[in-house]
């Protein structure tokens, strides 16, 4: 298995032009359908929207929400513990954070217009995983959106989205490729830092979230802060 450090080296050396070529070949245009921001409903029930958000992105979203909505957003207004690994009662240990959801399981920053099109209320400050959807890179240690890849060109994977296959201009493809590379590097840097800081905490009450800054409580405060 490729080490995280080796994968990081590969990510840093990626050609933006080649990534843009792949994105152009697949094709993409956002239709504002809201599919990447809302819960998934199927025969098994409703699965809440789950998108990874890094600690500094949570703070950036807090600041953005405070400015746009003119009210104070605490950590839990923006992020929740990644549900994978937690018990049904929400206790246990998990890794990283997911964007907070509303009562319907949709991203808390998603809103739908009267014509049915969706919008992000913090679009300019949205996390890297949102900026690059529906694409990810096939590099060990990097994250990917929910759902299996439905198309692939080289290292670029495309995940289910009704905007796939549409024409995309070169400038937009290059901007998306640059951000996709940035996200992959960040994924790996965060994973390496998390690995270095990780200490199991089975003795802790409630939920414990391990991220690149250490172990935290669900409200984002360090676990050992008194």
**Average pLDDT of the residues in 60-85:** 92
Q: What pLDDT score does 70 carry?
A: 81
Dump strand ranges (E) for 123-213.
Answer: 135-137, 149-153, 156-159, 207-211
Tell me the per-residue pLDDT of 181-209, one tens digit each, with 9 for 90 and over: 999 999 999 999 999 999 999 888 899 99
With CA atoms as reference, report the closest residue to 11 among 184, 190, 195, 186. Answer: 184
Q: What pLDDT score does 194 carry?
A: 96
Rounded to the nearest angstrom, the gap between the alpha carbon of residue 120 and the centroid of all alpha carbons in its chain is 14
Quote helix, strand, coil % in the chain, to nearest 5.
35, 20, 45
Q: What pLDDT score does 67 carry?
A: 87
Q: Is residue 104's pLDDT more than 70?
A: yes
Q: What pLDDT score does 142 carry?
A: 67
With CA atoms as reference, report the closest residue to 216 among 76, 71, 66. Answer: 76
Instruction: State the pLDDT confidence band at 224, using cuts at 50, 70 and 90.
Output: confident
Instruction: State the pLDDT confidence band at 101, using cuts at 50, 70 and 90.
Output: very high
- Output the CA torsion 53→128→141→29 (10° steps): 130
- CB-based contacts of 143, cutoff 8 Å, min separation 6: 52, 129, 136, 187
User: Residue 223 and residue 71: Cα distance in Å, rounded?
Assistant: 26
Q: What pLDDT score does 141 carry?
A: 63
Domain boundaries, the chain: 4-198+205-216
How many other C-beta atoms lie within 10 A of the C-beta of residue 90? 13
User: Residue 182 and residue 204: Cα distance in Å, rounded?
Assistant: 34
Q: What pLDDT score does 143 carry?
A: 60
The model scores a pTM over 0.85: yes
Tell me the per-residue pLDDT of 129-164, one tens digit each, with 9 for 90 and over: 999 999 999 987 666 665 678 999 999 999 999 999
- The token duo for 107 is 């991203």
Tell me the per-residue pLDDT of 9-64, one tens digit each, with 9 for 90 and over: 999 999 999 999 999 999 999 999 999 999 988 777 788 999 999 999 999 999 99
Peptide bond just before 134 cis, omega within 30 deg: yes
How many other C-beta atoms lie within 10 A of the C-beta of residue 131? 16
Question: What percentage of residues in the chain have a pLDDT greater than 70?
Answer: 96
């Amino acid at each position: 298995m490729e080490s995280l450090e080796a994968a990081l080296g590969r990510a840093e050396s990626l050609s933006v032009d080649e990534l843009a070529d792949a994105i152009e070949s697949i094709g993409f245009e956002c239709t504002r359908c809201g599919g990447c921001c809302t819960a998934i409903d199927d025969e098994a029930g409703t699965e809440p929207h789950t998108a990874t958000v890094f600690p500094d992105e949570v703070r950036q979203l807090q600041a953005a929400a405070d400015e746009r909505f003119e009210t104070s957003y605490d950590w839990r207004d923006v992020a929740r513990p990644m549900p994978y690994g937690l018990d049904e009662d929400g206790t246990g240990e998990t890794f990283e954070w997911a964007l907070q959801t509303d009562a319907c399981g949709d991203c808390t920053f998603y809103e739908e217009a009267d014509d049915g099109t969706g919008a992000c209320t913090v679009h300019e400050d949205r996390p890297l995983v949102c900026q690059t959807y529906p694409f990810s890179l096939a590099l060990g240690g990097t994250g990917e959106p929910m759902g299996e890849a439905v198309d692939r060109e080289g290292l670029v994977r495309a995940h289910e989205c009704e905007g796939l296959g549409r024409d995309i201009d070169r400038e937009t493809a290059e901007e998306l490729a640059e951000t996709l590379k940035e996200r992959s590097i960040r994924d790996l840097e965060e994973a390496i830092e998390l690995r270095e800081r990780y200490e199991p905490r089975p003795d802790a009450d409630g939920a414990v979230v391990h991220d690149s800054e250490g172990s935290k409580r669900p409200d984002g405060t360090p676990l050992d802060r008194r």
